[in-house]
Amino acid sequence: MLRILSGTLGLLMLAHSAVSNAALSIEIIGAGEHQIPIALVPMGGDEKLGAQINDVVTSDLTRSGLFRIVDSAGKSPHETADVNFNDWQLRGADALGIGNVSVQNGRIEARFRLLDVVKHDQLLGEAVSASDSQMRAVGHRIADLIYEKLTGDKGVFSTRIAYVNRQPKSYSLIVADSDGYNDQVVLKQREPIMSPAWSPDGKSMAYVSFETGHAAVFVQSLLSNRRRAVADFPGSNSAPAWSPDGKQLAIVMTHDGSSQIYLINPDGTGLRRISFSGAIDTEPNFSPDGQSILFTSDQGGSPQIYQMPASGGAPQRLTFASGNSFSPRYSPDGKSFVFANLTGGQFYIAVQDLQNGQMQTLTEGGWERKPSFAPNGKIILFASEARGRGILATVSSDGRVQQHMFTQSGDAREPVWGPQP
C-alpha cells in the first residue's frame, strides 16, 4: 500500500503512520561521559522531508547518549558557503550538519555535509539515496555517518533487532529497526517462540518454536518467509546459534539424555554432538573467529559460563562470581563476553574480560536477561521489566546510558541484535 503513495504527500502520510504505529516507545536514562555538542539543520530542498529525516537523525544521536543536540532554531544554512561558523561556536556546537534533499523518480536523494565548527572545515560530504518509502533508512544512514566520523566507532542505527512479543493468546517473532520502527511479524502463533538468532548475513532467522507440541528448532528466510524444521527430535531442541560463516548451527538437544550441544547444518544434515557433560549444557555462542563456543552449564553444580573449542573438547569454566550466570555472548572483537548474572534474587547484565577474567556489572539489577551486543560492541540489548511488563532495554558498554523500549502491548522478550546490513 505504501508503494502506491508517491511524492511528498505520500511520504508525509508514511511518516505520520510510522509515528503513531511505532512498535516501541523509548525512554533514555543517563548520558555519556563526554557528549559531543552537535547542531543539525533540517535539510533544505524538500523541507518537509528534510524535517522528517532530521527527526530520525536527532533521535538516533540522542539515544546513543554520546551527543548533545544544540538548538539550530533561527538559522538554516544548507550550503557551506551560507554557514557563519561564529554563530554556531557561540551556540556551543562543535559540529554542524547541513544539506539538501529531494525526491526524484521515486527515490530520496540527500546530500549531507558534516562541518567542523571550530576548524571551519568539512568533515564529511556524502550523498545518500533510497527509495521514497525508506525515509527512516536515510536518516539512520546519516546518523551512522555522523556517529562514525565523530566517535571513531561504526554506527548501528541502520541495523535491525529481533524480539518476541507475547500477548495473552499469541506469540509473535518481530524484526524491527534498531529504534523499534518498521516492525514486521516474521511468525505469529499460539505456542511459545524462543531464542531468535540472526544468520550472519541477516537474511535468515533461526528460532525455537513449540508448534509441534515441544521445543523444535526452525530456520526461516526473512526474504521468502520459507521455513524448515532443522531439529525436531523427541524431547527438547533449542538454543540455535550460527557459526560466523553461516554454515553451521550449534543447537541443544535432549534426546541423548540431557541438554547437550550439537552442531548441525542449517538444512538439518550433519548432526554431530560436541558436549558430553551429562549436565545441562545450553545457550551456545560462537566466538567471532569461529574457534570457540561459550555456553551455560550446570556441570559444576550451578549454572555458570563455560568455554570450549568449537569442534568439541574440554570445557573451561569462566564465571566464579556469586550467584548463577546465564546467556553468554562474545563481544564483536572477541575480547570479552556479556551475560546475565542472578545474585540475591536479582538479574544483572555484566561483562567479563576473557583475558584477565575481570567482571563488570553494567546495570542496577532487576529482571534483566538475554543480553546481546550491537555489531559495534558499544551497546548491549537485553530483556528487562518495567511497570509490570516485559520490555527491551539497552545499556552502553560502559554502563552509562540506558534506554527502555516499551511495546504498544504485551511483553517484549528474547531480544537479539542483528548484524550490520
Partner 1 sequence: MKKLVISIVLLNLLAACASQKPKEAAAPAPAPAPVAKAAPAAPAQTAVDPLNDPHSILAGRSTYYPFDVSVVQAADKPLVEAHAKYLSQHPDRKVRLEGNCDERGSAEYNLGLGQRRADGVMKMLEAGGAKASQLSAISYGKEKPRALGHNEAAWAQNRRTDIDYMQ
Binding site for partner 1 (CB under 8 A): 192, 194-195, 208, 210, 213-215, 234-236, 238-239, 252, 254, 257-259, 280, 282-283, 296, 298, 302-303, 324, 326-327, 340, 342, 345, 367, 369-370, 413-414
List residues bridging with 106 in a β-sheet.
none
Among 353, 387, 388, 346, residue whose Cα is nearest residue 368: 346
Give 264's Cβ-side CA count (13 Å radius): 26
Give 330's Cβ-side CA count (13 Å radius): 24
Nearer Cβ to partner 1 (201/256):
256
Nearer Cβ to partner 1 (389/400):
389
List residues bridging with 231 in a β-sheet.
217
Nearer Cβ to partner 1 (59/260):
260
Minimal distance, residue 15 CB to partner 1, in Å: 36
Minimal distance, residue 346 CB to partner 1, in Å: 10
Nearer Cβ to partner 1 (209/402):
209
All residues at 6 or more sequence positions from 191 whose CB lies less than 8 Å from its CB, including other chains: 171, 209, 210, 211
Minimal distance, residue 348 CB to partner 1, in Å: 13
Minimal distance, residue 360 CB to partner 1, in Å: 20
Specify the 3-state DSSP secondary structure of 125.
Answer: strand
Reduce the secondary structure of 60-109 to three states and give it as a string.
Answer: HHHHHCCEEEECCCCCCCCCHHHCCHHHHHHCCCCEEEEEEEEEECCEEE
Minimal distance, residue 238 CB to partner 1, in Å: 5
CA distance 34 to 2: 41
Minimal distance, residue 145 CB to partner 1, in Å: 37
Nearer Cβ to partner 1 (8/299):
299
Nearer Cβ to partner 1 (111/413):
413
User: What are the Cα distances from residue 307, in Å, to 55, 292, 294, 310, 312?
Assistant: 43, 7, 4, 9, 10
Give me the residue label for grid cell 535468515: 204
Minimal distance, residue 341 CB to partner 1, in Å: 11
Nearer Cβ to partner 1 (72/254):
254
